[in-house]
Amino acid sequence: MCVSSVRVPSVCVRSSVVAVSPSSPQWWSLRCSRLSRAFYKVRKQGGHVVAGGATLKYNTARQCISSAAASAAPAARVPYALDNERLAAWVTAPPPEKEVLRVVSWNVAGMRGMLNNKDKASEFSALIRRTKPHHLLLQETKLQHTNVEEVSEKLNKLRLYEDGSDDTTTVGDVLKHRVWSCSRARKGYSGVAILSTEPHTWKSASVAADHNEEISALVEEGRVLTVRDKSGWVVCNAYVPNSGVGLKTIRRRIDAWEPALCSHLERSAAGAFVGEVATTSSSSLENETSDAHPYDVEMAGALSTPVAQDAESKAPRGVVYAGDLNVAMQPQDLWGNHHKNRKLAGYTDEERECAAKLLQDVQLHDAFRVVHGEDVKAFTYWDYRSKARLENRGWRIDYTLVTDADAVLDSFVLDDVQGSDHCPVLVVLSAA
């Protein structure tokens, strides 16, 4: 079937049919809810998709609809189209005069669960194949130190291309350089990781100027990793503590975490980089014990050590702060029901005020808003329990914040990617 022949995509699942024209103004809101719901059912039931009058397999139909959508919608207003041409261009053929850095961030809701499930593992490898990230930032890995070697082996065996392809490249072949921060406070909880294509230096030290009991407890949960790559960008990956049911832990977040992280980012932006360790391969970090080579971000009293300059590194370029920040900063980052949600974790006045203060103090810019403006709605998290993803009742709580707004070339919310209650986000930065 020729992709260009698709005029009105339709999805048929059992007795329900969804049909919309990609040229209609309702296409994008419908795609997020009805089409995602139908695609999800097709995948779970092993069915087929009816598109343009022909019965196709799931992946073929999605490609047809993606192509039709990309050609019909203005690129500047579509930050989260499926496999659109704009995203593909930044991956396969960026402008020759631009040296770019692609940073993908994703809360995977359990790394072992992701890799042990065939469908989720396929989504994971497809994401890497599709975006070719220079840095892949993962949150909520739920790993212990003893799990890291097992997960690394799975990454080394997970093929980047589907079975049947002659290309046997694995995820491990591409993202060779990895650092992990695992929770020592609770098993199967929290944890972050940074997987990179090139060697970098990483920070094992301190997100706070004061070593206190509350911050120590947060650090034990493995919530922060910061690296500096050869382009000069300092990349901080964070899984910000949730304020909890009934806001039970909001004071710990507001009074301990937020000031500590703000200090960490301010000093990183100024060029301070403590606990720097050069990495040349993943094994140098993954196979060490936490005592000899700590995965956990540790606290230190001062952050005054300047960034080391090696022969291959450029001068400091700026700071990228990305991850699951557990706050919807603006009203347009929340699907609705704003008044009621002001009493819930992630949208309280205090949390949003702290986020605004962080942006101001560190002079950070929301990469998504830099590209797409203030009016575009896009969500990155949907509550599993209420089946919110089926109706697109989402929150945008996964951000990429940068100190240099002029360096932001493009930004995407990849909301068609399944496998977690969060979806990945991608930012394209100038690395020159």
Binding-site residue ranges: 107, 140, 421-422
Binding-site residue ranges for Mg(2+): 107, 140, 421-422
Buried b (16+ CB within 10 A) or exposed e, 401-413: bbbbeebbbbbbb
In three-state form (DSSP H/G/I as H, E/B as E, the rest C), the secondary structure along 347-390 is CCHHHHHHHHHHHHHHCCEEHHHHHHCCCCCCCCECCCCCCHHH
Contact 234, 303 (CB under 8 A): no
Beta bridge partners of 426: 104, 412
Contact 191, 222 (CB under 8 A): yes
Residues 53/74/129/18 CA torsion (nearest 10 deg) = -30
Q: What are phi and psi of 329, to 5 degrees?
A: -70, -35
Is residue 292 helix, strand or coil? coil
* 96/323 Cα distance (integer angstroms): 29
Contact 250, 288 (CB under 8 A): no
Contact 234, 135 (CB under 8 A): no
> 246: which residues sit within 8 A by CB, 6+ positions away?
none
Continuous segment of H or E residues that includes residue 365: strand 365-366
Neighbours of 342 (CB within 10 A): 13
- The token pair that represents 394 in the structure block: 């989402």
* 236/311 Cα distance (integer angstroms): 23
Distance of CA 2 to the CA centre of its chain: 33
- The token pair that represents 162 in the structure block: 């589907």
Tell me the residue type at 111: M
Closest CA to 202 of 274, 116, 267: 274
- The token pair that represents 306 in the structure block: 């300047």
Which DSSP category does 380 fall into?
A: -
Which DSSP category does 345 fall into?
A: T
Q: Give the DSSP letter string of 204-227.
A: -B-S-SS--HHHHHHHTT--EEEE
